[in-house]
Every structure is written in C-alpha cells, then in structure tokens.
Amino acid sequence: MVKRTPLYSLQKELGAKFTSFGGWELPVLYTDILKEHNAVRSNAGLFDVSHMGEILISGEDAVPFVNKIITNDVSAIPQNKILYSPMCYEDGTVVDDILIYKFSEGKLLLIVNAGNIEKDEAWINKHITGNVKVENISDRFVLFALQGPKSEEILKDILDEEIELPSFYWFIETKILGMKVLLSRTGYTGEDGFEIYLYLPNSCADYEKLWNGILDAGKDSGLVPAGLGARDTLRLEAALPLYGHELSDSILPIEARLRSFVKLDKKEDFVGKTALNNQLEQGLKRKLYGFEMTDRAIPRNGYDVTKDGKRIGYVTSGGLLPTLGKNGGLLLSEDLTLENDDVVEIIVRQRACKAKIVPLPFYKKKYKK
Amino acid sequence: MEVKQGLYYSKEHEWVRVEGDQAYIGITDYAQDSLGSIVYVELPQEGKAISRDDVLGVVESVKAASDIFSPISGKVVEANEALLDSPELLNGNPYDNYIVVLSIDNQDELKELLSPEQYDEYTKGE
C-alpha cells in the first residue's frame, strides 16, 4: 500500500509530479527541478517531508539506552540540542542515519528515514535495556522543511510569539498561525533553514493552512514549493549522505567520511563498536571521494569507477551539480591513495569517461551557527 | 500534451517524420514532459546501422537516463549535434528538434507505428 502525505491533494493542485520513495508517493517536482534547486540556493523552498519517521524514546534510561545503539554521544549534548548519528549493526554497517532531538534526559525523539521506519523500530526494540519506552509516532507528525537564505525572514512573519529563533541544530516548541509546532534549525540542502513539525491531532485543513501560510509569507521573497528532485541535487552538492547510497547495510560510517560521528571513547559500549574499532586499527578498505566529470557525461548511482583501466569502486550518488554547472558525484573507492585532481574514469554505458577527484563538499554550506 | 499531425508515433514515445527514403526521429511532447528538464543527450555515430528497437541514443534528465529505442531500422545519416550543447531544445520544441535522421531500411516497419489519433489515445491510457 503506497502512503501519501495529507498534503497530496493540495500538491496535485499545485501541479506536482509524483514519484515513489521509501513506500511513499511524494512530489518529485512542482515546476522544474533546476528552478526549485536555484530557488533554495538564492531565496527559499518549501518541502513536505512528512514521510520521515519519528520514534520517541522515553524513560529514565533513555540517554544510556540510545547511546548503546548509536555511534555518536547523546549524553554530551544539552536539552533542546539535536545530534546526528549513524546507528550500526554489530558488524559496523549502518541500520540508518538519524537525528536525535533531546527534550530532556528522559525524552529523546529520533528522526529516521522513511524507508527504514519499521526496520529501525524492530532493531531498537530488540536492544531495549533499562527503563525505557519505545513508541513509533511517525503517523502523528506532518513535517515541512523551509530551506534557503531567506528562510529566517519568512518564518519571522508567521511566528505567533516574539522568540529568538534556534541556532543550527537546536530546536524549540512554539506556535505558528495558531498551531503548536516543533521548530528546528536543520535541513538537508546545505542552506540555512528550518524544519517545522506539526503535532497531531490536527485536521487536514490545518496542514493546508500551515503550508499555504508559509508559502504566502514567502511570496515576495521568491519562496517556491520544492520536491524530492531538488532535495536530492541540493544534498548531493552539500555532500550529505543518503541512506541506501553513501550509507547502507554494507557500508561502514567510517568509510563514508563520518568518523567524527563515531565516538569510540564514550562511556557506553555501543552496537558495532568492536567492528568499527577493529577496522580503524587494520586500516580502512574503502573511502568516499568527491569527483567532477571532465568528459561530457552524467555519472549515475552504481556506475563503475576505474583508474588506469583497473576497477577501484563505484558511484554512490551522481548527477548534475546545478549550482556549479558541472556533473559529478560521490564514489566509494578501494584505492585510498586518491588525491585532489587525480584522474579516474567513470564507466558510462561501457564508455570510460574521465573525471577528477575534488574536495568536498561541492557546495560550501552557509549555516547560521 | 501536443500530438502533431503528419507524424508516426511509437509506444516508446518517439515520433517519426518521413521525407522520401529518410526518417527524422525525435521524442514526443509527452516524453519531454515526463522526463522534465533534459540536461544531456547522447547521439549515435553517423553511418551506424541500427535495427528496430536498438538503442538509438540516450536522453538524460536531472533525475535519470532514458534510452531512446529506434522505432525503425536504418542507417544513421545525421545526428542533431545542436542537442549536445543545447539539450533543453527537446523540452522547448520536441517536434522541431529531431535527434537523428535514418535512411529507411524497410518502409513496411512504418505501418506498425501508431497514427496521431492512436498515439493520443495511447498516452491517455498511460
């Protein structure tokens, strides 16, 4: 059964084209991926990302328990701060990459990828220790992402209360257009921006009121509704990993440039620690690099990569990098000696097309700290 | 979606315009609309012999690469190289911007293609 967000009818009226993603039917674009991409880079875009999953962990042992199933350290952050972390299997490969919202020592909200909700829930339940309660509350939220340099001025227009907006990776609870929301300064585009969680129960009219209210507030700032197509090109330019591409149940987070999110020295033992530690001691087998095409071709996910004719790996994500006006992507290489400007070949339909290794990210973030 | 008169159509969303023993082949308005912004076109070598249903070229949008399957058999007389630098021409004017010109091997293959009316009906069912 394909799931739809409560905004489906409204999106259809806006002219959205839909695609299936993680068991959902979601807007891939409203007018044009490139226009939506550019709007987010120069003004702002509004995404409906209600498909994301939410799992609430509560109880007095919430923090030590979550620390046992993630690689990062949630005990080290204060209330109202957000933490990004991989969640690993015993062998160090990745169950999911998640955000953790710390409401208190006894209440953590995990934001998980849409396609992984059931898998994550089962995995978390399997590892329960101590006094904790695990609730999959994914169906209780509608989630919008307002992204782009003009996000702050747009948002200020529709806040009910005079408040100080949260800084990057912080959240607050507040009211917008009379509705209680969870507001965080997060996103997946490499731009400043916010994610707005609308608590249920609310009616479909409320979701539409919030969506339309934000669009109205941004009318004169160049705000447009944006789909998954632009979300993907934006996150690729910012070199943000996408589960199923840069991370999966066959890739280690330390291979995917996420070493700083793996805290081997935290107090709690955590699932995957031994495997990750061993791999670091033995040395990595693979590493993620950025590349740009120098020959004319578009690299795509799964294409083989060679160097001097010998296969060294594959493309995990690739395509047009609209802000740079180039084609490029991320590749997972067994050759760990690659350096910037090294020439590799991407095999596009049996043809070896030249590319060069470049520093990441392709597009430099402009987050408001 | 525009379906132009005077052309043959394939179920793979290509159009064929016959001029004597040559066929101009492009993608339909329906195809360009489904693909979205076209950002790259790969063309066949001139002189290459193509059988029906062979890959004639590739059209890539931001999201994906799509093969163009040849609706008829023939030899490549000309590939439209303007598309290499301006692939977006296929979005703007799909019926004026052909992808290749083939010399037609077998006129009978044309009979198996769809008329504008049939193609219009076909896309409404998709």
DSSP for A17-66?
A: EEEEETTEEEEEESS-HHHHHHHHHHSEEEEE-TTSEEEEEESTTHHHHH
Mean pLDDT over all residues of chain B?
Answer: 95
The span from the CA of B98 to the CA of B106, in Å, is 20
One-letter identity of residue A247? L
Per-residue pLDDT of chain A (369 residues; tens, 9 = 90+): 789 988 999 999 999 999 888 888 999 999 999 999 999 999 999 999 999 999 999 999 999 999 999 999 999 999 999 999 999 999 999 999 999 999 999 999 999 999 999 999 999 999 999 999 999 999 888 999 999 999 999 999 999 999 999 999 999 999 999 999 999 999 999 999 999 999 866 677 888 999 999 999 999 999 999 999 999 999 999 999 999 999 999 999 999 999 999 999 999 899 999 999 999 999 999 999 999 999 999 999 999 999 999 999 999 999 999 999 999 999 999 999 999 999 999 999 999 999 999 999 999 876 665
Over the range A186-203, which residues count as b (16 or more CB within 10 Å of their CB) and which as e?
bbbbbbbbbbbbbeeebe
Residue of B nearest to A298 (CA): B40
pLDDT score of A261:
98
- For range B39-58, the mean pLDDT: 95
Chain B residues whose beta carbon lies within 8 Å of the beta carbon of residue A229: 36, 62-63
Q: Which of A34, A298, A300 sits opposite B37 (nearest CB)?
A: A34
For residue A233, the chain B residue with the least C-alpha distance is B62
Nearest-CB residue to B37 (from A33, A297, A298): A33
Is residue A120 within 8 Å of A171, Cβ to Cβ? no
Contact B97, B26 (CB under 8 A): yes
**Is B97 inside any structural domain?**
yes
Separation of alpha carbons A335 and A348, rounded Å: 20
- A-B contacts at Cβ under 8 angstroms: 33
* Nearest by Cα to A329 from A353, A310, A351: A353
C-beta atoms of A297 and B40 within 8 A: yes
Interface test with B, best of A17, A303, A320 (most B CBs within 10 A): A320
- A231 min Cα distance to partner chain B (Å): 11
Among A263, A242, A264, A240, CA closest to A251: A242
Q: Is residue B116 part of a domain?
A: no
Site of tokens 């030249």 = A354
Is A298 close to B40, i.e. CB distance below 8 A?
yes
Is there a contact between A296 and B36 if contact means CB atoms under 8 Å apart?
no
* B14 located within any domain: yes
Q: What's the pLDDT score for residue A21?
A: 85
Q: Tell me, yes or no, whether B66 lies in a domain.
A: yes
- Domain A8-48+139-236 fold is Gyrase A; domain 2 (3.30.1360)
| Strands (DSSP E) found in B1-123 | 8-9, 14-19, 22-27, 38-42, 49-50, 55-61, 65-69, 74-79, 100-104
Domain spanning A286-369: CATH 3.40.50.2000: no
Range of the domain at B85: 8-106
Which CATH number fits the domain that encloses residue B93? 2.40.50.100
Residues B49/B68, Cβ–Cβ less than 8 Å: no
- Separation of alpha carbons A60 and A146, rounded Å: 34
* Domain locations in chain A as residue ranges: 8-48+139-236, 286-369
Structure confidence at residue A365 (pLDDT): 73
Q: Is the peptide bond before A361 cis (omega within 30 degrees of 0)?
A: yes
Q: Which residues of A touch B (CB under 8 A)?
A: 17, 28-29, 32-34, 229, 233, 296-298, 300, 319-320, 322, 327, 349
Q: Give the count of domains, chain B.
A: 1
